Amino acid sequence: MRAGWLWGVVTILALPQCPVPALALPGFQEVKAAYTPSEAWLLDRNAQPIHSLRRDPHIRRFPWVQLAEIAPALCQAVILSEDKRFYEHEGVDWKAAGNAAWSNLWNTRSRGASTLTMQLVGLLEEEGGRPGRRNLFEKINQTAAALDLEENWSKEQILEAYLNLVNFRGEQQGVAAMSQRVFGKWPDGLDEQESALAAALLRAPNASPFVVMKRACALLTERGRSSECTDLASLAVTALSGGLRPGEESSSLSLAPHLAHKLLKQPGQRLQSSIDADLQRFVIESLSRHLAELRHQNAKDGAVLVVNNSSGEVLAWVGSSGNLSDAAEVDGITALRQAGSTLKPFLYALAFEGRILTPASLIEDAPLTLETGNGLYTPQNYEPQYQGWVSARMALAGSLNVPAVKTLIRLGPDIFLQGLHRVGFANLKEDGDWYGYSLALGSADVSVLMLANAYRTLANAGYWSPLRVTTGETNSPMSMPVPCIQGGCAEVFTGRAHSAFSPQAAFLTANVLSDHAARADTFGLESWLATPYWTAVKTGTSKDMRDNWCAGFSRHFTTVVWVGNAKGEPMRDVSGVSGAAPIWREVMDWLHRGDPATPGLNRTARHQTHRRRSSASTSVLSHRWNRHDRNGF
């Protein structure tokens, strides 16, 4: 014969001095403050959530929900199901306890006598690390604790805490997680049918849809709403099988997955970043749209980073093309890819600084063959013909390969490598001879992150400083969150600020990269690089067309775009100017849409200009492409 609650009542009356340690009950505000969601949130620079990430693998619970934000239908259904006299008793329903004891005495089925208050005491014990079955004395203690809880908490606080701490189904703890993961909505939107199903889950969280439906129908009938049982079965099957659950990719809190995975470590964490949510959305949309246009040319992936020049704050971090990618989990911002011609500006900056060259210096663009330890090296221009004697300005702006190699010969690979180290490419560990003369054409692997900060260095008169992903001037470098420190992130967030180039060398290099006329012979006067506001920009394409780049800066912002395939597959007929440059231009236009220097620049006009430029230049680019050797442009 099972022991009933009657024995518990008798024991409370007969053994007031029972040596059972009293439960230390926390206050309502203590419980609420100690509550930790399983999610962590990344916030943008204006403290708006932009990404949520689950960081507790054991339970799924969302932020605490106030009672006023829970549908009254759910509160009524829960009380009817679990504790009909909730608003009448003082923690223990003595009538229900007597009925339960009598039923247990005769070994008949009973709904039990555990009130919502007593259940909450049990939930608080579990939160305090005391789960498991209870013996008689522990049950007595729990009953006494429920009486004490009612003296210190209001009924509304008890109900609110219970609904936030109780397990509804599987790993879903609390009304918010249940409502979102079962019905695809927040608790304030639950209707009568959904509320009945939710309340029915409390008795058997992992019961079959049929069992849950029967219990929910009984609740509806008891409330005089039996007509709503008609289609309850189909709703139960759909909801409990996840059919109403919103897809993760459709969430409005999925704007920065790669950065969130790097920064968010603890459940309940809320970290404010430097990301601009509006810019992040625009970059995602622009990248997806342009890559969709390149899908027939086997370009599936891309990455975009936008940085504030003065503060070093990262404003946009888009690491992949999402659904377009075959490897969306790969972060293109930190992945190491072959740099192509994007390293040429630093080569010429060193030559300008060492007075080996000036922008007006002449370099012969002619066939060249060099002996190396691996055999003969014969660099070729992007276009097969050679232009003879050209200025360093035209060689850099037009991205000519042979003059770049000749400049490296005069400078020396070790000097160039040292310069690349100063500008932030800390991952280049070998000596200059190991990289050889091909280093001038970008044979080394770099990341979008490193490249962006290197170009930002040119924008800042040759002064390098680490990037940051938080806002504010009061944060000390030691306390700033660092998303990553190795590989493509090496020293980007942790290095010491220093002068990488002289201001004069940085100015001359930026001046060349901003010269529309100097690059006209290669790119034409009307191209994606010809902005109506001042910018300095360089494109690049790696060997076999596996990567193409567009990196550039204005007076206030630096943007780097990479387009390619995360798996390393080559693209078809995609160069830096046709793949990455349109995205770079669109992002830069968005950043400068309110620039007083370009009052006519707005989104509509910008898109119209792009369409005209695209249609007008398509035939020219196609003609040029057929003549290119597809290296380094």
In a domain, 182, yes or no: yes
Q: How much of the chain, in percent, has pLDDT values that exceed 70?
A: 83
What distance in Å separates the CA atoms of residue 259 and residue 403, rounded to the nearest whole number?
39
The pLDDT assigned to 247 comes to 62
Residues 330 and 389 in one domain: yes
**Strand order in 557-564's β-sheet?**
314-318, 301-308, 557-564, 547-553, 536-541
Residues 244 and 305 in one domain: no
Q: Token digits for 399?
A: 């991205």
> 248, 264, 292 — which closes off a domain?
248
Residues 80 and 200 in one domain: yes
Closest CA to 181 of 245, 103, 132, 120: 245
Task: Give one word for 568, left, alpha or beta, with left for phi > 0 and alpha for psi -120 to 50.
Answer: left
In a domain, 267, yes or no: no
Residues 339 and 197 in one domain: no
In a domain, 259, yes or no: no
Residues 183 and 299 in one domain: no
Residues 398 and 518 in one domain: yes
Residues 84 and 153 in one domain: yes
User: What secondary structure does DSSP assign to 535-583, as a single string?
Assistant: -EEEEEE-GGG-EEEEEEE-SSEEEEEEEE-TT----SS--TTTTTHHH
What distance in Å separates the CA atoms of residue 227 and residue 302, rounded to the nearest whole number?
54
Task: Work out the angle at residue 345's Cα, subtended by the Cα atoms of residues 341 and 346, and round it to the nearest 5 degrees.
Answer: 110
Residues 243 and 285 in one domain: no
- Is 472's pLDDT higher than 80? no
Q: Residue 96 — very low, low, confident or very high, per pLDDT cuts 50/70/90?
A: low
Task: Give the mean pLDDT of the chain.
Answer: 86
Residues 6+ apart with CB under 8 A from 103: 4, 109, 110
In a domain, 273, yes or no: no
Closest CA to 321 of 604, 579, 55, 14: 579
Other C-beta atoms lying within 10 Å of the C-beta of residue 24: 8
Find the range with the poorest average confidence among 40-54, 226-240, 381-395: 381-395
Within 323-472, where are the H helices? 344-353, 392-397, 401-411, 413-422, 432-435, 448-459
Task: Work out the angle at residue 63's Cα, subtended by the Cα atoms of residues 60 and 69, and round it to the nearest 5 degrees.
Answer: 120
- Is 143's pLDDT higher than 90? no
The pLDDT assigned to 390 comes to 96
What does DSSP say about strands 270-272 and 39-43: parallel, antiparallel, or unpaired? parallel
Q: What is the CATH number of the domain that holds 68?
A: 1.10.3810.10
The pLDDT tens digits of the residues spanning 515-534 come to 999 999 888 888 899 999 99
Beta strand segments in 244-380, E: 270-272, 301-308, 314-318, 337-338, 362-365, 370-372, 375-377
What distance in Å separates the CA atoms of residue 116 and residue 94, rounded to the nearest whole number?
13
What distance in Å separates the CA atoms of residue 377 and residue 545, rounded to the nearest whole number?
20
399: phi then psi, degrees, rounded to nearest 5: 55, 45
Q: Residue 16 — very low, low, confident or very high, per pLDDT cuts 50/70/90?
A: very low
The pLDDT assigned to 17 comes to 46
- Is 109's pLDDT higher than 50? no
pTM (two decimals): 0.84
The pLDDT tens digits of the residues spanning 179-188 come to 999 999 999 9
In a domain, 345, yes or no: yes
* Tokens 């959305």 sit on residue: 281
Within 496-544, where are the H helices? 503-513, 520-523
Residue 445: beta bridge partners?
338
User: What secondary structure does DSSP assign to 463-482, as a single string?
Assistant: EE---BSS--SS--GGGS--
* Tokens 């708006």 sit on residue: 48
Q: Residue 625 — very low, low, confident or very high, per pLDDT cuts 50/70/90?
A: very low
Q: Token digits for 317?
A: 């971090």
Residues 122 and 208 in one domain: yes
Are 621 and 583 in contact by the 8 Å Cβ rule? The answer is no
Residues 6+ apart with CB under 8 A from 576: 340, 341, 539, 540, 541, 548, 549, 550, 633
Find the range with the poorest average confidence among 381-395, 503-517, 536-550: 381-395
615: containing domain: 278-627
In a domain, 577, yes or no: yes
Q: What is the CATH number of the domain that holds 402?
A: 3.40.710.10
Other C-beta atoms lying within 10 Å of the C-beta of residue 44: 22
In a domain, 266, yes or no: no
Task: Work out the angle at residue 274's Cα, subtended by the Cα atoms of residues 314 and 326, and round it to the nearest 5 degrees.
Answer: 60
Q: Residue 137 — very low, low, confident or very high, per pLDDT cuts 50/70/90?
A: low
The pLDDT assigned to 245 comes to 83
What distance in Å separates the CA atoms of residue 72 and residue 569, rounded to the nearest whole number?
56
Find the range with the poorest average confidence among 73-82, 255-264, 536-545: 536-545
Q: Which of 573 and 37 is assigned the larger pLDDT?
A: 37
Count up the domains in the chain and report the number. Answer: 2
In a domain, 633, yes or no: no
- Is 42's pLDDT higher than 70? yes
Residue 156: beta bridge partners?
none
Mean pLDDT across 145-170:
95
Residues 362 and 285 in one domain: yes
Q: Residue 505 — very low, low, confident or very high, per pLDDT cuts 50/70/90?
A: very high
Q: Which of 107 and 265 is assigned the larger pLDDT?
A: 265
Q: Residue 609 — very low, low, confident or very high, per pLDDT cuts 50/70/90?
A: very low
The pLDDT assigned to 113 comes to 65
Find the range with the poorest average confidence among 259-273, 369-383, 476-490: 369-383
Mean pLDDT across 399-411:
95
> 233, 248, 263 — which closes off a domain?
248
The pLDDT tens digits of the residues spanning 249-303 come to 445 579 999 999 999 999 999 999 999 999 999 999 999 999 999 988 999 999 9
Q: Is 457 helix (H, G, I), strand (E, B) or coil?
A: helix
The pLDDT assigned to 433 comes to 85
Burial of 270 (0-12, 13-18, 19+ CB in 10 A): middle
Residues 155 and 234 in one domain: yes
The pLDDT tens digits of the residues spanning 566-604 come to 988 999 988 767 899 999 999 999 999 977 766 666 544
Residues 191 and 339 in one domain: no
558-586 burial, b if ≥16 CB within 10 A, otherwise e?
Answer: bbbbbbbbbeebbbebbbbbbbbbbbbbb
> 226, 248, 270 — which closes off a domain?
248
- Is 81's pLDDT higher than 60? yes
Q: Token digits for 417?
A: 């490598």
Find the range with the poorest average confidence among 23-27, 43-47, 372-376: 372-376
